[in-house]
Amino acid sequence: MGVFDSGKKAARGINAIRKNDLGSVTAYSPVPDHALDHALERSVSPIRLFILIGGIIGCISGFALPIYTVYDWPLITGGKALISLPPFVVIAFELTILFGALSGMMGFLILARLPRVSRRTKAITVDPTFSLDRFGVFVSCDPKSESAVREALKLAGALEASRGA
């Protein structure tokens, strides 16, 4: 585990580890950091798919519910058609947003694996300073390459490079 005081240095450390294929990396930071994004080569989060699918389901159900109900109990007013689309657009619009947002939240919890009840994940106790001002780079590696990892992290500017619990 390497502890850094800036995202740039942490990203440098990650690059070194990945370039030499020393192990798999998990980064911890107090803020979302673009340098880390870049180093870990993250593309676009798949959350947008959840939102799209939720939105489409919301839109369809927003039209389906009023249309079903007007046929379920037909109440013709003024000789007009039962399906009056303009007011149903309002319902469909609201449900598109509601379902999109709800499935986005659900997608976030699934993808980010939250809520996390136990701290046993990855068998480390994460440092509380990572919510304050420190950037952490956790490398799970072969015991043989441990010293190489330490060196790479130190070289990148780690304040400390210790063995995680």
Partner 1 sequence: MNSVGTSVHTAPSNAFSRIDSDILRTMGRPGYAYCAAVAIAALGLGFGAYAFSVQWRFGIGVAGYEHPVLWAIYITNFVFWVGIAHSGTLISAVLFLFRAKWRTAVARASEATTVFAVLTASLFPIIHIGRPWFFYWLFPYPNERQLWVNFRSPLIWDVFALSTYLTVSIMFLFLGLIPDIAAARDRCADWRKPIYRALALGWDGSHRRWWHYSSLYAFFAALATPLVVSVHSIVSWDFAVSILPGWHSTIFAPYFVAGAIFSGLAMVITLLIPLRKFLQLEDYITIDHLENLAKLIIVTSLIVGYSYITEFFIAWYSGNPFEQQTFYNRLFGDYWLFTWSMLICNTIIPLLFFSKYLRTNLVALFTISIFVNIGMWLERFVIITTSLSHDFDPANWSGLYQPTWVEVAITIGSFSMFFLLFLLFIKNFPVVSITEMKEALVTSNGEHQELRITSESLHSSAASSTGDSI
Residue with tokens 């590696």: 141
Largest CA distance in the chain: 83
* 34 vs 147, beta carbon nearer partner 1: 34
Q: How far is the CB of 148 from partner 1 (least distance, A)?
A: 22
Going by C-alpha positions, the residue among 158, 146, 117, 162 that lies closest to residue 13 is: 158
CB 54 within 8 A of CB 100: yes
Q: Judged by CB under 8 A, which of 1, 2, 12, 134 binds partner 1? A: 134
Angle made by CA atoms 43, 10, 138, in degrees to the nearest 5: 85
Q: Judged by CB under 8 A, which of 24, 93, 155, 162 binds partner 1? A: 93
> Would you count residue 107 as binding partner 1 (CB under 8 A)?
yes
CB 123 within 8 A of CB 163: no
Enumerate binding residues for partner 1 (CB under 8 A).
5-7, 26-33, 36-37, 40, 42, 44-45, 47-48, 51, 65-66, 69-70, 72-73, 84, 87-88, 90-91, 93-95, 97-98, 100-102, 104-105, 107-109, 111-117, 119, 126, 128-134
